[in-house]
C-alpha cells in the first residue's frame, strides 16, 4: 500500500517481523529514515494479524521466532498474495543461517539477509525486492 508522506512523495509500506526488540527497533528506524512506512510485529502470529488489517508492499521477516516462525508466515502469505515480495533474514540457530535462508529462498523469498548486516545492505536489499514504482 503506497501512501504519500508530508513532502508529497509516495512511500512504500513494509511489514517488519522480528522478535528481538533491539533489532526490530533498529530496522524500523532505518527504514523510516529511508522514507518507508513501517509496521512491526514481534512474531508470525502478530504479523498475520497486521496482515489482516492492511496491505503491504513488502514483508521483511526473521526466520526463527516464537509463535509462528518466518517459514510458516511465508506460507500463509503466499496463499493470499503469491506475488508479495518477502525478504527473509536469519542469524542462524540450531543450524547455520545459510540453511534457513536457503529454505526461505526455496519457499519464495525474493531476497535474503544474513545477520548481522549493515544499513546499506538492508536498504539495497529492500530496494531490490520491491517492485518498480510503475509496476
Lowest mean pLDDT among 2-6, 11-15, 24-28: 2-6
Chain segment 83-117, per-residue pLDDT in tens: 999 999 999 888 889 999 999 999 999 999 999 99
**pLDDT band at residue 134 under the 50/70/90 scheme:** very low
Residue 135 has pLDDT above 50, yes or no: no
Q: 135 or 14: which carries more pLDDT confidence? A: 14
pLDDT score for 10? 60
Q: What is the pLDDT of residue 36?
A: 97
List C-alpha distances in Å: 112 to 9, 15, 98, 129, 131. Answer: 27, 15, 10, 10, 16
Superfamily of segment(s) 3-122: Response regulator (3.40.50.2300)
pLDDT at 120: 98
Helices (H), 2-88: 21-33, 44-53, 70-80
Q: And the C-alpha cell for 73?
A: 508466515
Q: What is the pLDDT of residues 31-73, one digit of tens each?
A: 999 999 999 999 999 999 998 899 999 999 999 998 888 999 9
Domain ranges in the chain?
3-122
pLDDT for the residue numbered 132:
81
Amino acid at each position: 500500500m503506497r501512501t504519500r508522506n508530508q513532502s508529497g512523495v509516495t512511500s512504500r509500506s513494509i511489514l517488519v517481523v522480528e522478535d528481538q526488540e533491539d533489532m526490530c527497533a533498529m530496522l524500523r528506524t532505518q527504514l523510516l529514515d529511508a522514507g518507508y512506512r513501517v509496521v512491526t510485529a514481534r512474531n508470525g502470529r502478530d504479523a498475520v494479524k497486521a496482515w489482516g488489517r492492511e496491505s503491504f508492499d513488502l514483508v521483511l521477516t526473521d526466520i526463527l521466532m516464537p509463535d509462528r516462525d518466518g517459514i510458516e508466515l511465508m506460507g500463509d502469505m503466499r496463499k493470499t498474495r503469491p506475488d508479495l515480495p518477502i525478504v527473509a533474514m536469519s542469524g542462524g540457530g540450531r543450524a547455520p543461517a545459510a540453511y534457513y535462508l536457503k529454505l526461505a529462498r526455496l519457499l519464495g523469498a525474493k531476497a535474503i539477509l544474513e545477520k548481522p548486516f549493515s544499513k546499506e545492505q538492508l536498504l539495497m536489499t529492500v530496494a531490490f525486492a520491491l517492485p518498480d514504482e510503475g509496476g
